[in-house]
Amino acid sequence: MKAIVLNQKTYQLEVQEVDKPTVLKSDVLIKIKAAALNHHELWTLLEKNLKSESNIIMGSDGAGVVEQVGEGVKDFKIGEEVIINPSLNWGLNNRVHGQKYEILGSPTQGTFSQYISISEQYVHHKPAHLSIHQSAALPLAGLTAYRALFTRGEFEPDNKVLITGIGGGAALFALSFAIASGAEVYVTSSNGNKISRAIELGAKGGVNYKDNNWRTELEGKVDGFDVIIDSAGGEGFVELCELANPGGRIALFGRTAGNIPNISPKTIFWKQLSIHGTTMGNDNEFKKLVGLISSKRINPVIDAVYSAKDINEAFEKMNRGEQFGKIVINMDEL
């Protein structure tokens, strides 16, 4: 079969012929029809810190068609359309993943290939209202946003929510989930067009975090936030603590702006704030994610669909931060 393999010298992705995966008793063999990009893979390409003696096939997001099932598989049939939960080996503690945890794409070979064979516990029927490309956009970012908002953010329907860095896949999923659940939502971005597009999707308003008075401007729009979803960290994080209401929760799942300096302990303890780190999610949260997407008929925002041969160009676009929504790869063209 063909796969998009990481060249460990150039850190570019190349189409190569590789062995088709073996199907074990509890495995489902999936013909990947579409995959999607994440910052999880982009960091690997930029930091050049992933090494292996065998082929590295990245890719955490994927949707496709069941081609074969192991003899122990009961819930899936050949020809069914499915998506993959990329959060592997979470462990028994729902509060935090265990030592064997990994995200699909390394060391377990990922979705940038014609076929993947994976345990049925990580396979789910795709939401019926979604296309195969929309379904491929769902898993990693959707799961990250679900856990950040509902589990770690302890969201309640009357909460006011702030989502930073709108435009990325997880931030847009958090926006959709919060709006569908009855929240009043505001956003930040360095791009005015992205703020306008978020308002078209249902956000009440937004501010440009590059403006010196962005916090004051936001305070003029809303009287504080109960839940704040942040993927940046950095110097602006201290402003999020000031924007949080007493008893507020801040869920952090990214580091695009670097380390966090100068937080006031007094602000945290006097407001009794909860700052929660969060990564991906457990198996039960993925099931709830699929249920929410299906019941509320939420459609992932797709920025662009690239041919498999143009995947390096697609990652370059992500690195420039130009996307609004998920970047999808058409694996039928591999």
* The pLDDT of residue 256: 84
Q: How many domains does the chain have?
A: 2
* The pLDDT of residue 11: 92
* The pLDDT of residue 184: 97
Which of the residues in the chain have pLDDT under 70?
A: none
| 148, amino acid identity | A
pLDDT tens figures, 83-102: 999 999 999 999 999 999 99
* The pLDDT of residue 143: 98
248 and 306 fall within a common domain? no
The predicted model scores a pTM of: 0.96
Phi, psi of 144 (to 5 degrees): -60, -45
219 and 131 fall within a common domain? no
159 and 271 fall within a common domain? yes
Q: Is residue 78 part of a domain?
A: yes
Nearest CA to 62 out of 115, 11, 26, 14 is that of: 115
112 and 150 fall within a common domain? no
19 and 51 fall within a common domain? yes
Q: Write out the H or E segment, with its range, that includes residue 252.
A: strand 244-252
Structural domain including 169 reads: 143-277
* The pLDDT of residue 218: 96
What are the residues facing 252 on neighbouring strands?
230, 277
33 and 98 fall within a common domain? yes
| 12, amino acid identity | Q
